[in-house]
């Protein structure tokens, strides 16, 4: 019952460093998403993908990049980390965007990132 798996769970970065948050799902879902959630705030969509090879920006894409070479994987790249990127990052997936019975969005457990 893996579902959506994110790594690492915790990471401390220095300003200017780069890193990749990994995300994998084993449910053969077409849609994948990256959200960030700052303390006491709601989810903000960073990037999403509707299938392998297709990605699009969400609300807050600046400072991030993504790729979707396979259905299963959707890594999030942080280039030149800044303190403003200190947040919890959630990866998620859903089967399709259409109204289908049982369709819902599943989240990974989150990655806590601190930039100092």
Partner 1 sequence: RKEVEQDPGPFNVPEGATVAFNCTYSNSASQSFFWYRQDCRKEPKLLMSVYSSGNEDGRFTAQLNRASQYISLLIRDSKLSDSATYLCAVIGSWGKFQFGAGTQVVVTP
Q: Which residues of the chain form beta strands (DSSP E)? A: 4-7, 10-13, 19-25, 31-37, 43-51, 54-57, 64-66, 76-78, 87-94, 105-107, 111-115
Exactly one of 50, 52, 60, 82 binds partner 1 (CB under 8 A); that residue is 50
Q: Which one of residues 28, 42, 62, 116 is an interface residue with partner 1 (CB under 8 A)?
A: 42
Residue 47 binding partner 1, by CB under 8 A = no
List phi, psi (to 5°) of 83.
-55, -30
**Residue whose CB is less far from partner 1, 14 or 42:** 42
Which spans of this chain sit near partner 1 (rule: CB under 8 A)? Answer: 31, 33, 35, 41-43, 45, 48, 50, 56, 88, 90, 92, 94, 96-99, 103-105, 107-110
């Amino acid at each position: 019952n893996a579902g959506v798996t994110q790594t690492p769970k915790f990471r401390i970065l220095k300003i200017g460093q780069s890193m990749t948050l990994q995300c994998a799902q084993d449910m053969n879902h077409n849609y994948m998403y990256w959200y960030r959630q700052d303390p006491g705030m709601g989810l903000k969509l960073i990037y999403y993908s509707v299938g392998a090879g297709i990605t699009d920006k969400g609300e807050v894409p600046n400072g991030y990049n993504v790729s979707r070479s396979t259905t299963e994987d959707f890594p999030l790249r942080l280039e030149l980390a800044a303190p403003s990127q200190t947040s919890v990052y959630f990866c998620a997936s859903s089967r399709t965007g259409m109204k289908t019975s049982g369709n819902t969005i599943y989240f990974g457990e989150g990655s806590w990132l601190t930039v100092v």
